[in-house]
Amino acid sequence: MTAGSLSCENIQVSFGGLKAVNDVTHDFKPGRLYGLIGPNGAGKTTLMNALSGHAALSGGRVRLDGRDVTHLSVHRRTRSGLGRSFQITKIFAGMSVLENLQIAAFAHRYRLQPFWLPASRFTAVREQAERVLEEVGLTALAHRPAEYLSHGDQRALEVGLSLLSEPRVLLLDEPLAGVGHDQLDRAIGLIRQIVKGRTVLLIEHNMDVVMQVSDEIVVMVQGQLLASGSPGDIRANPAVRAAYLGDEA
């Protein structure tokens, strides 16, 4: 798989009078992991929604691999290689881990949810689901009902679901939320693993984690980009320290 590139130029998203994303321009280069940080309400999720097509722009452009996708639906962006995970888990609690992946894999391939058919009949779907199962380290739990998974394993399944569309650019909104301390190393390992061959934008509130895994940090404050750079540069940036890290520069 070749990692994709994603860029936005002067994008804006407004909710009534509030400019949740205000004139944001950035290039997300192939194969790099970008950590998106900023205080609560800074506009991180809204920026991600604007890139994935879940939020309507009031201005600006989004390009995927150089192609203007500003007016493409979420579905068409997904088919073009842009994947997205959500803060809120979208798994079917009563189904097993493998069934969840099979249903979603089927939906991606055939654009419908065949609840009336046993998805396991379809070899390609089953093989893809099993590949993803392995990629996110859940093979041993394949037949466990999803509702009995730990938070960490539910997050891994959620990430797995977003891998089924074979994204070359992946947007991850707090994939570690609710993951216990004891499972954090494994979750970080999973992020490192799925990054390979992909471009990733990650929203993560745990500063140690985000500084550890990111190639570049992008800082948002009040809908705008305040700074971007290597984790070392961002830690040392006086404006970031004053505005966000809570340290008067």
Ligand X SMILES: Nc1ncnc2c1ncn2[C@@H]1O[C@H](COP(=O)(O)OP(=O)(O)OP(=O)(O)O)[C@@H](O)[C@H]1O
CA dihedral 193, 194, 199, 203 (to 10 degrees): -100
Q: Are 152 and 183 in contact (CB under 8 A)?
A: yes
200 beta partners: 33, 170
Binds ligand X by CB under 6 A, chosen from 8, 11, 34, 45:
45
User: Please, which of residues 91-120 interact with ligand X by CB under 6 A?
Assistant: none
DSSP 148: G
Of 14-22, 154-162, 188-196, 239-247: span binding ligand X (CB under 6 A): 14-22
Least separation in angstroms between residue 187's CB and ligand X is 18
Least separation in angstroms between residue 86's CB and ligand X is 12
Phi-psi domain of 167 (left: phi exceeds 0; alpha: psi -120 through 50; beta: other): beta
Binds ligand X by CB under 6 A, chosen from 22, 26, 44, 194:
44
Nearer to ligand X (CB atom), residue 74 or residue 124:
74
Q: Is 22 in the site for ligand X (CB under 6 A)?
A: no
Burial class (CB in 10 A: 0-12, 13-18, 19+), 181: exposed
Least separation in angstroms between residue 242's CB and ligand X is 18
Q: Is 41 in the site for ligand X (CB under 6 A)?
A: yes
Q: Is 38 in the site for ligand X (CB under 6 A)?
A: yes
Query: Closest Cα partner for 193 from 126, 131, 128?
Result: 131
Residues 6+ apart with CB under 8 A from 119: 99, 102, 103, 105, 106, 125, 126
Nearer to ligand X (CB atom), residue 15 or residue 148:
15
Q: Is 5 in the site for ligand X (CB under 6 A)?
A: no
Q: Is 46 in the site for ligand X (CB under 6 A)?
A: yes
Residue carrying structure tokens 């639906």? 73
Of 35-43, 65-73, 110-118, 209-217: span binding ligand X (CB under 6 A): 35-43
Least separation in angstroms between residue 20's CB and ligand X is 3
Q: How many residues bind ligand X (CB under 6 A)?
A: 11
CA distances 150 to 112, 143, 156, 173, 182, Å, are 29, 14, 10, 19, 11
Binds ligand X by CB under 6 A, chosen from 1, 2, 15, 247:
15
83 beta partners: 170
Of 42-50, 135-143, 157-165, 185-193: span binding ligand X (CB under 6 A): 42-50
Written as six digits, the tokens of 64 are: 């995927």
Nearer to ligand X (CB atom), residue 40 or residue 123:
40
Phi-psi domain of 31 (left: phi exceeds 0; alpha: psi -120 through 50; beta: other): left
Binds ligand X by CB under 6 A, chosen from 35, 43, 152, 167:
43
Which residues here bind ligand X, judged by CB under 6 A? 15, 18, 20, 38, 40-46
